Amino acid sequence: MKHSNRLRSAYWLSIWRRVKRRVLTRGQKIAYGLTRFGPSTMLDLSTLAGFLFYYGFEVLPGFYTGLSIGLSYLVSAACDSGFGYLSDRTPTKRLGRRRPYMIIGAPFMALCFAMYFLPTLFVSSADTMGLFIWATVWISLFKMFYSFTMTPYQCWMPEITEPEERPSVSVWQNAANFAAMVLGIFGATLLGLLLPRGLVTTPLLILILIIILIELIGFIPPLTKIRGEGKFIKQPSVKRDYGFALRNKNYVRWIMVQGIFSIAFVMIAQVAFTYLTGTKSVLKFGFMPQLVVFAVEMLVIIYAFFIIWPKLIRRRGKRYTLTVALLIAAVALPFILFVGQVPGFPLSTDLQAYIVMGLILTGLSSWYLMPYIIYADFAHVDQIKTGEGRAGVYTGFSSIPLNIFQFFSTLLLGLLLGLPNVPGMNYSAGLLWWGPICSLILILGLLALRTVNIDPDFAAIEKEFGKKAKKE
């Protein structure tokens, strides 16, 4: 009996300590992280398959297709910061600040996603301007509701986790992101193989319905199983709140560093499959087996290093881990110039490509792990110092400069692909030179990273500002 009582007391003591320190259970971490799978799949499909769908199937001119997607990025840039800030300022008695945005936004995000891929139910394929308006309206609304839903979702992270938990939570988020990216890539490819122009087919409707169900169901566990939010600021002031963030030198420097890195990462994401496959590609990979092998390699590498990087973060810190990983990518990228270009090389072209792309993916896996953790840490430090929650400001504001950097990246890639073809080949010289250029950009970013502290000492900060609070 006494033994039973001791066990019961120990159990409730562990629960109390967990609640007090806001430590999530493994199930809660998984539920929160995997929520990204549905929205990220929608985002990747609308971006990757959107161009193929409208340009390839509906014969919307490439300029109009690109313009419609480009305008949606401007909408996203405007909304990310705004909805993050608003979610800081809209408390409800029962649901808190973040949950209402997810509850309202998820169904509207699903509706806009579906409408974007069903234009011929309402617009003729021969109506160029009608298709352009339809595509622009629905992709822009989708991006708006994506920001409306997912920015508050991400702002929730520093409020429900402790610093030591964030790498493992971010692992589950990025596992969902990369699974979504693979589904988006193969979804876009399958659209090209299976769907005739101008027709709404049963496979398309089934695909849309499955993705919508995944997205909606994915929000249920975190919304029902996770509690906790930061302190609400009763007197909102945009100038005051952004002032706190912009006076944080580390935060501003990190945005610049992230912007430099994003130039390379956006280029790699956009050009990698053009380099591997297609009529104007360098390697002419087919869907079977080369692209399937590459997709499997991508998943194995990403998931394996999602286990390795958090351990290294805990031992050596985020800056050390990011430096090591991106140096691997920076060293591998120049070899893009030589894959399949050296006659008599003992390894096959396919194997050369798998090795080089695998090393690049090794570096990128660390990058996609970092931003969630770093912005959550900035918001946490601010809350310790001020006693107020500004996760929305820290998470949302960065999208404005980042979209400018990403626009520059797209412009640079366009200039590269406009270079003359390699003599005797049907592909642009830019499809070889993107590797060395991205390597140089990563090295510049790593030099800038040396000026930023992304490993705050939370214990020291709490001790310092705890003493100040007592004196006051």
With beta carbons less than 8 A apart as the criterion, state whether 39 and 146 touch. yes
Q: Which residue has the tokens 């309206």?
A: 137
Whether the pLDDT of residue 469 is over 60: the answer is: no
Give the C-alpha separation, 372 to 356, whole Å.
27
Neighbours of 338 (CB within 10 A): 13
Domain with CATH 1.20.1250.20 in the chain: 26-227, 239-464
Transcribe 343-379 into DSSP letters.
TT-SS-HHHHHHHHHHHHHHHHHHHHHHHHHHHHHHH
Alpha helices in 45-92 (DSSP H): 50-51, 62-88
Whether the pLDDT of residue 236 is over 60: the answer is: no
| Average pLDDT score, the chain | 81
Residue 329 tokens read as 């990518």
Give the C-alpha separation, 418 to 265, whole Å.
20
How much helix, strand and coil, in percent to the nearest 5, is found in the chain?
80, 0, 20
Nearest CA-CA partner of 341 in 329, 326, 356: 356
Give the C-alpha separation, 169 to 467, whole Å.
31
Give the confidence band of 25 by pLDDT, cuts at 50, 70, 90.
confident
Whether the pLDDT of residue 215 is over 90: the answer is: yes
Burial of 39 (0-12, 13-18, 19+ CB in 10 A): buried
Give the C-alpha separation, 137 to 415, whole Å.
28
Give the confidence band of 23 by pLDDT, cuts at 50, 70, 90.
low
pLDDT tens string 244-271: 778 889 999 999 999 999 889 878 877 7
With beta carbons less than 8 A apart as the criterion, state whether 108 and 117 touch. no
Give the confidence band of 229 by pLDDT, cuts at 50, 70, 90.
low
The proportion of the chain whose per-residue pLDDT surpasses 70, expressed as a percent, equals: 82
Q: Is 58 helix (H, G, I), strand (E, B) or coil?
A: coil
Lowest-pLDDT range of 63-77, 239-253, 301-315, 336-350: 63-77
* Entry pTM: 0.71
Q: Which residues contact 31 (CB under 8 A, 6 or more apart)?
A: 221, 222, 225, 226
pLDDT of amino acid 62: 60
Quickly count helices (H) and strands (E) in the chain: 20, 0
Q: Which of 9-18, 244-253, 308-317 has the highest mean pLDDT?
A: 308-317
Give the confidence band of 397 by pLDDT, cuts at 50, 70, 90.
confident
Burial of 234 (0-12, 13-18, 19+ CB in 10 A): exposed
Whether the pLDDT of residue 129 is over 50: the answer is: yes
Whether the pLDDT of residue 16 is over 70: the answer is: no
Nearest CA-CA partner of 8 in 20, 22, 16, 21: 16
Instruction: Indicate the CATH number for domain 239-464.
Output: 1.20.1250.20
CATH class of 26-227: mainly alpha
